Structure 1
Amino acid sequence: MSHHGLYIEARIRADLDELWARTQEPSQHQRWDLRFTEIAHLPHAEGEPQRFRYATRVLPGLTVAGTGISAGEKERPDGTRTSALRFASPHPLSLLAEGSGYWRYVPDGDGIRFLTGYDYRPRWGALGALADRLLFRPLMGWATAWSFDRLRLWLEHGITPERARLNWLTELAVRVLVITAGCTGLALESALRLLGPYAAPLAYLCPVLLIAAVCAALFKAPLPCTPAARRCLRRPPARARAPRLLRTLENPR
């Protein structure tokens, strides 16, 4: 495994049982988690850890699937809850070969610290390791944090995951349009100078307005109804450790 595991933490003001249900029930989990298109429980013997299948639609007509095994501790003496899992994908196009992780639910005042730590082994040798370090791992970290904030919006404000995604796409489209229009306007600004002294004041004012608009589109904080990865903590505290429960799970081969 990599020595640079991923850590994401969100603070969610919600009922602990409700948060547990929306993260443990596959039909609920797949609605808010950007990393998965489908999650389904598999048959298992009573008393054994839960097995599951997950799938991600990479491209239209191309779905990468894998299996996993999970276990949860819903009642702990300190009032927290824990869920641990191991997963693997035999699909040759899946960069992610196998991995493990955990979720922790830590009541904290009027909210819950919902956090995850996970790591995986990439395939494809040295090329896969390079692609993972430069692209895939940062993307996975962003997707996890974005998804956690989408879950927060659902629990705190009743914004469904589907609506939150639409809000995000709409805001992204507006930002792209503003940036495109701003860059185009800056390129055309010099043409105003050719119109003579009457257009000169406008020629000098336009770049200022266009630059201000582009900066707003690039750096303005997302709207409160839009999911944003930046709202989540991405660095683990020094005391963060994987739960003991994880050691009890076998690899889902």
Structure 2
Amino acid sequence: MDRLWAHTQQPDKHEQWDVRFTGIRYMPQSKRGVQRFRYMTRIGFGVRIEGTGETRERTDIRTGERISTLRFGSDQRLSLIREGRGYWKYVPQDGYIVFSTQYDYVTRFGLAGRVFDKFLFRPLMGFATAWSFDALRLWLEKGSAPAATIGRALIHYGCVLLLALLWAYEGVVPKLLFPEGGELALLKQTGLFPDQEASMLAWLGIAELGISIATIAFHRSKRLFAAQAVLLVLLAAAAFVANPELLAAPFNPLTLSVPMIGLNWIASRTVDDLPRAIRCVRKPAGRTERKATRHGFDL
């Protein structure tokens, strides 16, 4: 409990794992035991959102349960959040700790702000909260520092995105939209599908589009990346068997397959110990609690 409390209540530790904040700084504590703080979040292009808040803690000596309540807000006109409040709750169980949060806020910009919050900002904040909680779990349980975890996640998702885009491009552009650009002639040279090359090329394009979707949907599967690497080798080999002169071309199947195999290898090597927002319970369990918290987050 003390270790978890320190990693969530000390600003220098909190800002390492919580992707919602770039910086958190404590200000002098009041005589009433209220801890004031200042937070900051960079949103890109040199722009940052700043705000202030205050928090108070309470410990139940009998049960060991701790709770940290907070109020926060921003006077910055660019900030969507005008003011909000919430809590962090720490409940010891048999051999583990239930760490939960609930918070809600009031938005700016009238109807436009409420619509933007409902359909984009609030879902992203809920996801970021849950993802950060799991990054904290990895830090405490496995010793994986947040900087390394976040860096590994960026590399992994970057490779997955590039693979998905490449598979989609190869499926749609040269096979479905412009088959006469060379793919159809290459397939005819194989002699595998006499008089059916056009339809087979279209099916190949659809299959590659399906691989693109599967790459995103099953990006945590090492078997998927291994299967893709094997498939890329087979496709390149088939192309060179059909037309050996491709090896002399400046842009040939080899120049595409080798980088894609490399991306598959990197993605498979970075899949372990990635934070997962889905590991956190995102919905209240009880009917009464669900009614009371339907406008907030409960993790």
TM-score past 0.5 threshold? yes
User: 2:157 aligned to 172, 176, 186, which one?
Assistant: 172
The one-letter code of the counterpart of 2:6 is: A
Q: Which residue is 1:59 aligned to?
A: 44
Q: CA deviation at 1:212?
A: 5.6
* 2:190 aligned partner: 198
Deviates more, 1:218-227 or 1:111-120: 218-227
CA contact (8 A) 1:65 1:91 kept: yes
Of structures 1 and 2, the one scoring higher in RCO (CA 8 A, sep 6+) is 1
Of 258, 275, 279, the residue aligned with 1:227 is 275
Structure ranking higher in helix proportion:
2
Deviation at 1:111, TM superposition (A): 1.9
Taking a change above 3 Å as real, the CA distance of residues 199 and 135 of structure 1, as seen in their structure-2 partners, is farther
Structure 1 residue aligned with 2:247: none
Give the secondary-structure state (helix, strand or coil) at the position aligned to 1:236.
coil
Maintained 8 Å contact 1:167/1:225: no
Percent identical among aligned pairs is 39
Q: Aligned partners of 2:151, 2:28: CA distance in 1, in Å? A: 35
1:131-150 mapped onto 2 (5 Å cutoff): 131-150=116-135
Larger radius of gyration: 2
Answering whether residue 96 of structure 2 is matched by residue 111 of structure 1, we say yes
Alignment check: 8 A CA contact 1:193 1:200 kept: no
Q: Give, in whole Å, the separation in 2 of the partners of 1:122 and 1:135.
A: 13
Look up the match of 1:24. 9
What is the TM-score with the length of structure 1 in the denominator?
A: 0.81
Equivalent residue for 1:87, pick from 62, 72, 81: 72
TM-aligned CA deviation for residue 116 of structure 1: 0.5
Greater strand share, structure number: 1
Q: Which amino acid aligns with 2:11?
A: P
Over 3 Å counting, the alpha-carbon distance change for 1:97 and 1:129 in structure 2 is same
Question: Using the alignment, how far apart are the partners of 1:208 and 1:184 within structure 2?
Answer: 11
Q: 1:208 to 1:199 in 2, by over 3 A?
A: farther
Q: What residue ranges of structure 1 are gaps of 5+ in the alignment?
A: 1-15, 243-253
Aligned partner of residue 79 in structure 1, secondary structure: coil
CA RMSD of aligned residues (A): 2.3
- Distance in 1 between the 2:130 and 2:59 partners? 23
Structure 2 gap segments, 5+ residues each: 221-270, 293-299
